[in-house]
Structure 1
């Protein structure tokens, strides 16, 4: 019972972040499962099994709150489902060691994407001069679905910042549309993993916990989308994802030892805390409509 309760708390926190920022549930859940020693394909399958009810409730909650653009949703969800199915099949067909390296690398990358987006206010895709460019939507969905399946998470880090760049929507509409489309992708990815028989070793107790926490929090997160300080939350999530997966990679390679590890981890935590504080100051100054200068992150 305590295991379900612990994962319910983790799932609730992950869904709170995902429902308000448009990213984080898959990356966070996959990171936790990998750190427990779950195989990569199984971790991704478990994450997407948990996503089925959580993304359904989250998508419906965002739709009721008026946060979903159905035109954009269809243009990203359909190619996202195709990419997700292909990604699931690919992940179940490669060796365990290769899958571990690939997934850890992707999770570190998406941690960096989240960190750069919220900690430094930088976007990786430039805004097209024509403003809303529908031609970008299908490639964004296809790529988002593929990396979501192969990385155990990644739909939000790919799609949310991209839609903020190629559409004119306010953040809450982008977050809501991304969350609603993610349900379609989760169904397709889960089908791909069932085809590849990656579901047989799924740790169902953690999955049940993730589902319970995610479902309970999803409606509240949808209502709070666009109202909470995104920058410090995203910075902390990105920093945590990078830290956990980097520790796993270093340990697999033989790692450092003792005090050196502790110093590096504490230094990283201090850097992320400082960056989150600066991001909060920047976001607060922007919301107030001021030109107050925020100190650099150095």
Structure 2
């Protein structure tokens, strides 16, 4: 009976994590990692499980964005190649450190992700004038080196923390104010699929598969698959700012608790 309760909890985590990510564009890994680590699962295993389940979810999300023309293809390799390197290094780094040692640092990182998400949605949205927007879009300022560096950093912390690709990469590109937000979100989503594969394979190699709880991974994946169409449908109907504030606040609360338990 206890096992079925646990599986139901994992299914619920997968559902709400994808629902949040599908409506506000970030939070799948950070939200699910916060809950799994809070339940006592070691950080490396939590991140490995999340990224394994996320392969299918990110594939369908990325393909959908590609079909709707939301992908800036010239950015894709600039994000994917350094992102794959950063993700592999992050996964190896996390798997090489004892879970009890790294746990408070991961909780601190996820708490920071909560602050980033909260900051992303609390300030009033600034809408540039049409003339400024048209100038920005026709004269992009961000360099390929900056895009690659952002991909490396975001994927490294995504592997280490179980989440971070969306909260770091999406605002990082949107704040350059030279590309339509839908193009940023679509490109980030498609790039995430390839980076997630590399991170998951690295965890397979370093950790082995003996410690994997495949039923937990399956429940996370099924929950995410159930939420994906609903999140897509409600994306334009729910107040994204309110959801973003709730997610950021929840991450801060979960990880303050984990930090206190780990440090006291």
TM-score by length of 2: 0.86
Q: Deviations over 1:242-266 (max 9, x none)?
A: 1001111112223xxxxxxxxxxxx
Distance (Å, rounded) in 1 between the aligned partners of 2:244 and 2:203: 29
Match of 1:98 in 2: 101
Distance (Å, rounded) in 2 between the aligned partners of 1:44 and 1:13: 17
Match of 1:18 in 2: 21
Of the three residues 242, 248, 251, the one matched with 1:238 is: 248
Kept after mapping to 2: 8 A contact 1:160/1:175: yes
Distance (Å, rounded) in 2 between the aligned partners of 1:89 and 1:122: 38
1:138 aligns with 2:141: no
Within-5 A mapping of 1:3-152: 3-120=6-123, 131-135=140-144, 136-152=146-162
Distance (Å, rounded) in 1 between the aligned partners of 2:258 and 2:31: 14
1:196 aligns with 2:188: no
Of the three residues 209, 224, 235, the one matched with 1:214 is: 224
Kept after mapping to 1: 8 A contact 2:22/2:235: yes
Change (3 A) 1:221 1:167: farther
Distance (Å, rounded) in 2 between the aligned partners of 1:154 and 1:202: 22
Change (3 A) 1:28 1:222: same
Structure 1, unaligned stretches of length 5 or more?
A: 124-128, 255-298
Kept after mapping to 2: 8 A contact 1:85/1:146: yes
1:65 CA displacement: 2.6
1:252 aligns with 2:248: no
Q: Deviations over 1:94-135 (max 9, x none)?
A: 232321122111101111111111123599xxxxx9744133
Distance (Å, rounded) in 2 between the aligned partners of 1:63 and 1:9: 28
Within-5 A mapping of 1:249-288: 249-254=259-264
Higher RCO structure (Cα 8 Å, ≥6 apart): 2
Change (3 A) 1:202 1:186: same
How many residues of Structure 1 are paired with residues of Structure 2 in the alignment?
249
